[in-house]
Amino acid sequence: MLFHVGYPSLPNRSLNPPFPASVPISSAVDFPPTPPLQDYDEYEKQQKLVLPTHIDGAAPIYPLPPTPRENRVLPEDLKTPDKHVERDPRLIRLTGIHPFNVEAPLSELYDEGFLTTKDLHYVRNHGAVPAVEDPSVLDWEFTIEGMVARPVTLTLRELIQNYDQATYPVTLVCAGNRRKEQNVVRKTKGFSWGAAGLSTALWTGVTLPDLLARARPLRGARYICFEGADRLPNGYYGTSVKLGWAMDPERGMMVAHKMNGEMLHPDHGKPLRVVIPGQIGGRSVKWLKRIIVTPAPSDNWYHIYDNRVLPTMISPEESADLPETWKDERYAIYDLNTNSAVCYPAHDERLAVGDGLYKLKGYAYAGGGKRVTRMEVTLDQGRTWMLAAVSYPEDLYRLAPDGEVLYGGRLDMAWRESSFCWCFWELDVPISRLQKAGDVMIRAMDDAMMVQPRDMYWSVLGMMNNPWYRVVIHNEGNTLRFEHPTQPALIPGGWMERVKKEGGNITNGFWGEKTAGEDSAPAQEAPATEISMVDEKVSRQITAEEFVQHSGEEEPWFVVNGQVYDGTKFLEGHPGGAASIINAAGQDASEEFLAIHSENAKAMMPAYHIGTLSTPLSSTSAEEEEAAAASSSSVFLNPKTWRRALLASKTPVSHDSKIFHFTLPSRTQTSGLPVGQHLMIRLRDPATREAIIRAYTPLSEGSAEEAGALRVLVKIYRDGKMTRALDALPVGHAVEFKGPVGKFEYQGAGRCVVNGRGRRVRRFVMVCGGSGITPIFAVLRAAVKEADRAEAPECVVLDGNRAEEDILLRDELEAMERRGAAGGSSSKCRVVHMLSRPSDEWAGLKGRMDRGLFEREVGKPPVERDAMVLICGPEGMEEAAREAFLGMGWAEEDLLFF
């Protein structure tokens, strides 16, 4: 059956509003006006328990949604911010437990038919799902603002009562559909969608032309921006499309509040979303709060740094330093490209060899309202092609009588030429031909004669992947076994992974099959040379027993990728201090080293390489590590063992910074972190499960004053792998810590230890920028606590930021100044703020921290050499400070960079 027609046993919820006059209608039918909606109970009463019917009472000829399942909140969601969302357990999670990004198993999606239930509809969530309680649904507000003559604020109640409703079938497709194929060739910045990142539903709401007609966009307006209620690390999710498209009824854009006749499911935008037919799903903003008419495209972070196809020669590493490239609208994705997939035979399906026919089946879609006009199938890798039959269930809705109402919205599609839904294709092929073929490949063509390309266009985000879809046929005696290109997420399987593991070159133009004269070495990786971390002249074999004997401070040996390194020569020169190497002694440090260190650090490794580990190290089990973390030890941190604490809460302290509160295993435990040192935090990438490790200095003290807890101030960076992962972490989740690490420790009364050597300091100059205040603050707090002592050092803090709202720990710093003045001495603590982008009201210093500032506020080094400069901030600021202080006569050993 090419499409499913069924009658749902669920409320119709038809409000039967009158028809609009904004689109051609051959004959109008009068309906009684919608009763006023006072509250949710009345809204529920108006939901009719009747099936959709033609205007003459006959059964509809177009497909209706399948009956949805009764779902519940799944156990894995109970400890996430999405604990209020009921979900179908069949959905495949692509990014771990949270956030929720899923697709259906391909066969089940196809079997459900033309329309997809909310149960199997794909979901792309960047963060937590906003919780909207049913009684408050009708009071949900959104605005139309910007370059409009009449700004509008509407509730959902007013949208339903005062505007004409429409119902259209629309297929939504994630721009990452089929991305797993690109990730196998070379890892992109996106997680691994399979071929089921698309779904179709009936959407009911108000068309954008009708809404914009009331607001009346002004001359010069060219774009319409949308913003949702989902608060994310880089602000609320938002994007834009061209205003001319939004004003065109042929484009079918709408603000929807129903999906398949029901109120929107939370994962799909409850209570209100945008639906942009024919364009990538990322433009259809969920949980809609704002519509802004503008002269230029959206400047929202997610519009600029998501949903783009950058030139194929740009690598993920290079893309991090190309802000202007990301902002180039030529690379923004709007209309979908033409694409298709094979659904039957399914992956790993087996077919008995015989004389009959096998029906190949699949889907196809095009973008921008275009129609798929041709589906072609080849069994000989493109030498010859066969035409498949194509079915367009969307066209059945065009046959509905004039005045048809479906789920409370007019079903008026007869006049519209645009196609916004997937179609299905079939082809009967003799099994004997399949037996002789090595593979099945397909391609689609749209009505602009654009055809799917033979080869992949790899790009840094892995989007819009649409080369020919290839299914390999394995002839296994009396059975044929079919193998799809990939399986979604981390699910193993697929001919692409198999070919790559076997050393085949997927990008050789022959799908990894070796050709005459071809080197068997894989060539699909980027043309970048891998940095060797071994000394090729070293052939020594080192047993585990010998390795353990050299795990002390005198000869700290450690292992990376099975190779043994002696860190003795680098104890003094290591930027993180000798403790970083000593703590790794006697351990396999592969994960930590590779997660933290730069390419430059890797290039230095051959100088410390002494041999290969010949026998494996014994490892501590996860249960033993957990037991150690939860032990009765009075100190939480351990320099050699990762220990777990639970995320208790997140407290925003600025527009892009939060304090993360963690609960230690025991209420009486202290962190054990010396003043001036740091701890390591380890998380797992939700998609790849690779370790993400970074060093932080917590706000909480390592003493008994803050036993049982850790507080860490974190600035959330838009491209920060750790900070974004940490911000997305649900409360109650475990996080791993290790430490202490660092080459500096303040012991009190002006005594310090730097790289194991003691020194006395009478003055600290503390230079910081942004979140670089945190290690500075720890030392400042300890020094100011003893301000009434003669030995206490004087502290001057030079804190640079962009704007006043970026100043972190401002209240605490002011308190330090007041405390530093205790005993009549105002010289113990002084804080100077400088802003590079101040407001007109800012009365403090303006500009960037430079030598002029340092000369005025600090001056030349004292003759006694009893002062130190502590520096922490962005790389550019640190380099500028180094150059300035060295130029003023300060010695390199008096400058400490955290």
The active-site residue out of 306, 566, 588, 799 is 306
Q: Would you state the pLDDT for residue 6?
A: 32
Annotated binding site for Mo-molybdopterin: 174
- The answer to whether residue 174 is catalytic is yes
pLDDT tens-place string over residues 733-779: 889 998 888 889 999 999 999 888 899 999 999 999 988 999 999 99
Cα–Cα distance between 468 and 353 in angstroms, integer? Answer: 26
Q: Compute the mean pLDDT over every residue in the chain, rounded to the nearest whole number.
A: 86
CB 710 within 8 A of CB 678: no
CB 411 within 8 A of CB 252: no
For 848-879, give one letter per residue: b (16+ CB within 10 A) or e. ebeeebbeebbeebeeeeebbbbbbbeeebbe
Stretch (H or E) spanning 735: strand 734-741
CB neighbour list of residue 856: distance below 8 Å, 6 or more residues apart: none
The active-site residue out of 307, 339, 505, 801 is 307
Rounded to 5 degrees, what angle do the CA atoms 128, 129, 135 make?
140
The active-site residue out of 174, 225, 421, 795 is 174
pLDDT tens-place string over residues 787-845: 888 888 999 999 999 999 999 999 999 988 888 776 554 568 999 999 999 999 999 99
Three-state secondary structure along 600-660?
A: HHHHHHHHHEEEEECCCCCCCCHHHHHHHHCCCCCECCCCCCCEEEEEEEEEECCCCEEEE
Q: How many CB atoms lie within 10 A of CB 686?
A: 19
Cα–Cα distance between 448 and 374 in angstroms, integer? Answer: 11
Does pLDDT of 115 surpass 90?
Answer: yes
Rounded to 5 degrees, what angle do the CA atoms 701, 658, 97 make?
110
846 burial (CB, 10 Å; 0-12 / 13-18 / 19+) is exposed
- Among 211-215, 568-572, 667-671, name the most confident range: 211-215
For residues 173-184, average pLDDT: 97
Residue 835 identity (one-letter amino acid):
L
Go through the domains of the chain in sequence order and give each one's CATH number: 40-331 (3.90.420.10), 339-501 (2.60.40.650), 541-613 (3.10.120.10), 633-742 (2.40.30.10), 760-897 (3.40.50.80)
Cα–Cα distance between 292 and 858 in angstroms, integer? Answer: 49
Annotated binding site: 174
For residues 344-354, average pLDDT: 96
Q: Would you state the pLDDT for residue 53?
A: 57
284 burial (CB, 10 Å; 0-12 / 13-18 / 19+) is buried
Nearest to 851 by CA among 830, 872, 882: 882
E strand intervals along 379-422? 386-387, 389-391, 405-406, 409-410
Q: How much is the pTM?
A: 0.61
pLDDT tens-place string over residues 569-620: 776 666 556 666 666 777 777 767 776 666 667 778 888 888 888 877 654 4
C-alpha gyration radius of the chain:
32
Of the listed ranges 197-206, 234-243, 364-373, 731-740, the one predicted with least confidence: 731-740
Does pLDDT of 509 surpass 50?
Answer: yes
- The answer to whether residue 225 is catalytic is no
Residue 188 identity (one-letter amino acid):
T
Cα–Cα distance between 242 and 653 in angstroms, integer? Answer: 36
- Report which of residues 416 and 549 the model is more confident about: 416
Is the sign of the CA dihedral 878, 880, 886, 889 positive or negative?
negative
CB 118 within 8 A of CB 99: no
Residue with tokens 């295993």: 665
pLDDT tens-place string over residues 635-652: 999 888 889 999 999 999
Distances (CA, A) of 13 to 47, 49, 156, 259, 288: 3, 7, 15, 11, 22
Residue with tokens 């997927």: 506
Q: Would you state the pLDDT for residue 553?
A: 65
Cα–Cα distance between 92 and 71 in angstroms, integer? Answer: 15
Stretch (H or E) spanning 782: helix 773-785
Three-state secondary structure along 93-139?
A: ECCCCCCCEEECCHHHHHHCCCCCCCCCCCEECCCCCCCCCHHHHHH
